[in-house]
Structure 1
Amino acid sequence: MKTSTVSRTRPLLATLAATLLALPAAVQAAEPGELLSAAPYRAAWVPSKASQAYLLSYRTPDHHNRLAQGTGLLYLPAGTAPAGGWPVVSWAHGTQGIADHCAPSRSGPTHAERDGRFLDAFLAQGYAVVAADYQGLGSPGDHAYLHVRTAARNSIDMVKASHRFLGGRLSPRWVSVGYSQGGAAALSAGHQAAAYSGPGLQYKGSFTAGTPTAVEITALVMRPDSRSANPGALNAYHAYLLDGLLQVAPQIDRVLSPQGRARIALARQHCLTDLAAQLEGASTGEMFSAPLTSVPGIWTLLHDYLGVPRHGFTQPLMLAHGTRDQDVPYLTTLLYAAGLALRGEPVAFRQYPVDHRATLDAATADGVAFVKARLADARFDEAAEATGLEKLLDAAR
């Protein structure tokens, strides 16, 4: 008797189904923002106004655009979620280091009290806060420091994963907020939001403080004759950056000195505070046997790795900066904001008589007011903001 095609096929389908069920979830349906795990989180550095905290693991790209694992923290405000859910603030943190133990979810923020005050200001407004560690920082793989596009996507995917965890308790309305390293990430997250976040999320604007917008020019001092004694933090930033650049362009190794390689190896082990203390007074030139600018194609590489968007924003931005900032020079960000305004981008700029570290505290009130306005769909007065920028440029001349 003949066996029907259907009869022969059933065992095959059953075997195939069993095999698929046995495969890891990543093989079946890996996609950016996919939630891998969520667990309650407790630590001394959790913001005081967070009623609940969770550690999330999720899918997100690395700096080679390969889907990888990332981690981050989710903080919820007090009370029950309102109708439509809590609006979401996606927080992009400043420089921590590049080793896994430097991730905020593992060892806390570099300046935990300051960052806690800042996030508390948003939690007090009834906003949920999501805080990506950045891929490779506390998760498998290497963290590419200041690889702006990747950190931005890590932040957006953290928003997606949080929605998959809490569903309707979170509103689709969200903003990106960042400081220093995270300022560039938050800018880029806002720029990529429309194309990358997918359907269902409603991006409303970005607020950034102490934002590096012209790091590419650092290449000009990365040469053997740059022998000035530097602050330790600047030397740490340079070592972290060179480690990241080596990951995408190994040929950079040929312009490094033995001391430069040793300093990068040290950077791979120590978080910012410790590394800065060890490198206080060292020079940039000690790291090089030839100028970084002698590497073929270096400017294209730096622009692709570090470049922040200069046009094409779909929602308003506010950049805040300290006039005494020596880590990220004030004029570079003022000129960046002015360039955006000249191109018709919706940008506001605020300045304060403080240094880099104090900018976040100084800018908190303006940041909260801006975020409240964006989430309420308030009118953004581009003309008034452009006039304000013109006055600041005149004052800086």
Structure 2
Amino acid sequence: MVLAATTVLTVFAGPATPGPNSGSASGSSQGSDFYLPPDPLPTGAPGQILRSEPYSLALALPGQEGQVPANATRIMYLSADTHGDPAAVTGTYLEPTLAWNGPGPRPLIAVAPGTQGQGDQCAPSKGFAQLIHYNFPLDIWASYEVITAYALLARGMAVVMTDYHGLGTPAVHDYVNRAAEAHAVLDSIRAAEALTGISRPSGIFGYSQGGGAAAAAAELQGEYAPELDLRGTYAGAPPADLREVMLTSPAVNGLVPGVLGGVGPGVVGYVLNGIVANHPETAPIIDAFTNPAGKQMMAELATTCVGETVLRTMFRPMTWYTAGGRTPAQLLDSSPELTAIVDEQRIGNRKPVAPVLIAAGTNDDILPFPQARQLAVDWCARGASVQFEPTTWLPPLFPSLGIGHLLEYLPATFAAHDWLTQRLAGAPAPSNCSALP
């Protein structure tokens, strides 16, 4: 989710040129034809390349073998939505121009991006080419996952980053949807292998929304993509239990629930938009739950990046958007249908085949620590190889503003680089399951 980073970027990014693929509540324009899937979709296996094109990175230097740190290819590939039906997903493949100094062939890392937004202009594959996107008046966004990708490229690892289902393409991005995200991540590895013709040792890497997508992919890989040579998965601050996140996150519910909201109530709008798109029968339930402000919020956020979402919704309590001032807990209590859909997003009910590293901060104010720890407990109980790394030394700074979530990102990411490098080198994976009750 990384909402605090959004606030910082929004304030300090400075002026930027409006991008060609914008389409937010602040304004709109036509998107690139590249992102329009063929209709009908061709018959094929998940990961099949539908189209690809090389493009220039916004942050790169010329080198003897192309761009430094990598040559970029935008891809569209076949995947599956939450119901298992064929879907087109876009993403980026990055072939590093730096040498891989580890043992064996150059590995491939599938990066599951953190929260970008729900508008098509927020797709990470567009962010690599544009770096900073701006559309008057509030639609400003910078793709922070460039940092993640470039850190991996610096080690000589190839990178593929999905845009997820519905982000960039015309479908609605079903935010934090377990199955759709897992399919998109796993199929991005298949797509990179189809593009290059090389099957490589691979890893999965994600934080925040990306941590949840990485975790979902890790536990689904054995049944959905068993042929992949997956060596390990890093899941940082994963939203493993969507119900607990919605009901206990300070950034969603605020310091004073019902009175003063936090930085992230808008992500609930993303969730509701995705549920309605995937399950149209829930539309009357959500319509009855939201007041006019809530309906307007959902409509606007469907076309925004997370920076604009924060500016539009921060500090407003969730009850600002609901009929009769009802809370998310009351919504779930009143609707078995919605409860079943939200509970279906729970990660931890399947055993990952490859080792997993889970990182979480005890003072994470967006994605609560207990539900991330519970994921480790659940996987350990199923016999998985799990290393759970809590960050306990960060103080609770301005809870509900996302700072605790943002600060956890850097130490967790640096540790994850070393852990993943060791897995790719064939070193035995550590596990502290015995220390988790």
CA contact (8 A) 1:205 1:316 kept: yes
**1:208-244 CA distances to partner (integer Å, 9 max, x unpaired)?**
1121122213555799x95132123x11211111111
What is the DSSP-based 3-state SS (H/G/I as helix, E as strand, rest coil) of the residue aligned with 2:190? Answer: helix
| Equivalent-residue separation in structure 2 for 1:218 and 1:386 (angstroms) | 24
The answer on whether the counterparts of 1:49 and 1:123 sit within 8 Å (CA) in structure 2 is: no
Aligned to 1:255: 289
The aligned runs of 1:138-153 (5 Å cut-off) are 138-153=168-183
Give the Cα separation in 1 of the matches to 2:59 and 2:370.
33
Superposition RMSD in Å:
2.8
Q: Among 43, 56, 73, which residue is 1:42 paired with? A: 56
| Structure 1 residue 165: Cα displacement | 1.0
**Letter aligned with residue 87 of structure 1:** P
CA distance in 1, matches of 2:195, 2:49: 7
Partner amino acid, structure 2, of 1:132 = T
Aligned length: 359
**Structure 1 residues 248-304: Cα deviation after superposition (integer angstroms, max 9, x where no partner):** 232332222222111101111221111101212111012222531211333221111
Which letter maps to 1:129? Answer: V
Larger Rg: 1
What residue number does 2:46 align with?
32
Greater relative contact order (Cα 8 A, min sep 6): structure 1 or 2? 2
Q: What one-letter code is carried by the residue in structure 2 that aligns with 1:256?
A: T
Q: Show the counterpart of 2:147.
A: 117
2:74 is matched with which residue?
55
Residues 49 and 120, structure 1, Cα contact 8 Å, conserved in 2: no
Matched with 1:301 is 341
In structure 2, the partner of 1:19 is none
Matched, 1:106 2:126: yes
Aligned residue runs from structure 1 range 349-364, under 5 A: 349-352=388-391, 353-354=393-394, 355-364=404-413
Q: Is 1:344 paired with 2:372?
A: no
**Aligned position for 1:16:** none
8 Å contact 2:356–2:385 — kept in the other structure? yes
Shift of 1:202: 1.0
Which residue does 2:236 correspond to in 1?
209
Aligned counterpart, 2:320: 286
Query: How far did residue 340 of structure 1 move?
Result: 2.7
**2:143 is the counterpart of 1:96:** no
One-letter identity of the residue aligned with 1:38 = S
- For residues 317 and 375 of structure 2, what CA distance do their matches in structure 1 show? 28
Take 1:63 and 1:160, find their aligned partners in 2: how far apart are those partners?
Answer: 18
CA distance in 1, matches of 2:83, 2:118: 17
Please report how far the alpha carbon of residue 327 of structure 1 lies from its aligned counterpart in structure 2 after TM superposition.
Answer: 0.5
Structure richer in helix, relative to its length: 1
- Tell me the secondary structure at the aligned position of residue 358 of structure 1: helix
- Structure 1 residue corresponding to 2:184, chosen from 150, 154, 165: 154
What is the TM-score with the length of structure 2 in the denominator? Answer: 0.75
Identity in percent = 26
C-alpha distance in 2 between matches for 1:259 and 1:231: 17
Deviation string 1:32-73 (CA, Å, 9 cap, x unpaired) is: 111011111223257995321110111112234321211101
**Letter of the 1:186 counterpart:** A
Report the AA paired with residue 228 of structure 1: V
Contact 2:206 2:236 in 1 (8 A): yes
Deviation at 1:130, TM superposition (A): 0.4
Q: Distance in 1 between matches of 2:93 and 2:187?
A: 13
Aligned to 2:214: 186
Q: Which amino acid aligns with 2:55?
A: Y
- Displacement, 1:345? 2.3
Q: 1:240 to 1:370 in 2, by over 3 A?
A: same
Q: Which runs of 5+ in 2 are unaligned?
A: 1-37, 62-66, 133-140, 395-403
AA aligned to 2:269 is: A
Q: Which runs of 5+ in 1 are unaligned?
A: 1-23, 391-397
- TM-score using structure 1 length: 0.82
Counterpart Cα distance in 2 of 1:257 and 1:57: 38
Find 2:275's aligned residue among 232, 238, 245.
Answer: 245
Task: Quote the residue 2:22 is aligned against.
Answer: none
What SS does the aligned partner of 1:86 have? coil
Question: Contact (CA 8 Å) 1:46, 1:53: kept in 2 or not?
Answer: no
- Structure 1's 241 and 213: CA in aligned 2 closer, same or farther, altered over 3 A? same
